[in-house]
Structure formats: C-alpha cells, structure tokens
Amino acid sequence: MKYAAVVLLGLLLSGCGFHPLYAVPDTPGGSMQGTLRAIYVEPVPERLGYQLRNRLIDVLDGQGESGGARYRLKLNLTTKSDAIGVQSQTTTGGVVQTAITRYNDTLRCEYELSDARSGAVITKGVETGLSAYNVLSSPYATLAVQQDADRRAAEDIADRIRIDLAVWFAEQAKK
C-alpha cells in the first residue's frame, strides 16, 4: 500500500514539472553540488563577515581557496542597530531616567558572483537578516547575546545566498 502511494505521488509530481533544485540534468554528474563547490568566497572584514564567509564556504561545500575556482563571490556586509525598547523610570529625586532595553540589528549583505577568469559579474543580489536581543545588566552579557544573535542572522543570510545561487544556476541550465 505504501509503495503504491509513493509511486502515485512520483507520477503526479513528474506530471506537474516538479524537479529537485539540486539535480540539474545539464551539469556534470547531474548535480548542483559541483557547480556550487566551484565558487570561491572572498574574505569579508570584521568578525561577523568572517562568520558569514565561513558559513557560506560550509554550505557551498567550498574549499576556501581561490585556486581552481570557476566563480568568485564578493560580499559586502553592513549592519545597522536600532533601539526598539525604551524604559523610563522616575527616581526618588524626581529625575526621569531612560534606558534602552532592546535592540534590533539589521544585517544587509550585497553579493556579486563573477567569472573567475574574466571578472565579469554574472549575477548579484541582496539578502537581509534581522537579529534582536535584550540589553542585560552586564555589558559583557549584552555583547555576548548581540554577537550570538548577529551570528545566527548571518548564517541565515548565507543559507539564503546559497539558495539564490542554486536557483540562478538551475535557471541558466534550462536556457
């Protein structure tokens, strides 16, 4: 019974034009993995850029070295921090004190994929991520939660860039 359902589902999906993103028939070996592996991710400054680059190397299954790469991926990462939680408190002397209690950091990553030989830009795009964190009583603890939230947002951006590139390569293979 389960076998018949799987076969029926397969027939229905093949009729609608569905095909897996990472199985492109016109690429060597029929997979997207070899194409994505041929992308060299250029270094990005600062800690968060380093983390973004490392995540991209991991998800692209790249080597992190420019030798032999067919493509180069250039990243420009910017961050913006906005205070979104403010708390006011009146002291016994009647002085109103205001403190920021929560931040949103917006990460914006512009990327360009270019041919490694000619340097011509093949495709480009922008991905954004949002991280939110509370301000804690300890400045060190606040810094630690900010860095962790920003790292997770950068990892999400890296995953979405990989998907963008895979979709672009799949569309090119259809042409």
Enumerate long-range contacts of 44-50, CB under 8 Å, 24 or more apart: 44/75, 44/76, 44/77, 46/77, 47/147, 48/77, 48/79, 48/107, 48/150, 48/151, 48/154, 49/75, 49/77
Residue 12 has pLDDT above 60, yes or no: no
pLDDT at position 27 is 47
Structural domains of the chain in order of their starting residue, each with its CATH number: 19-80+107-129+150-174 (3.30.160.150)
pLDDT tens sequence across 25-77: 454 445 788 889 999 999 999 999 999 999 999 999 887 777 788 999 999 99
Q: Between 159 and 10, whose confidence is greater? A: 159
Q: Between 47 and 18, whose confidence is greater? A: 47
pTM beyond 0.75: the answer is yes
What integer is the mean pLDDT of 16-29? 51
pLDDT tens sequence across 68-116: 889 999 999 999 999 998 887 777 777 777 888 999 999 999 999 999 9
Q: Are 40 and 73 in contact (CB under 8 A)?
A: yes
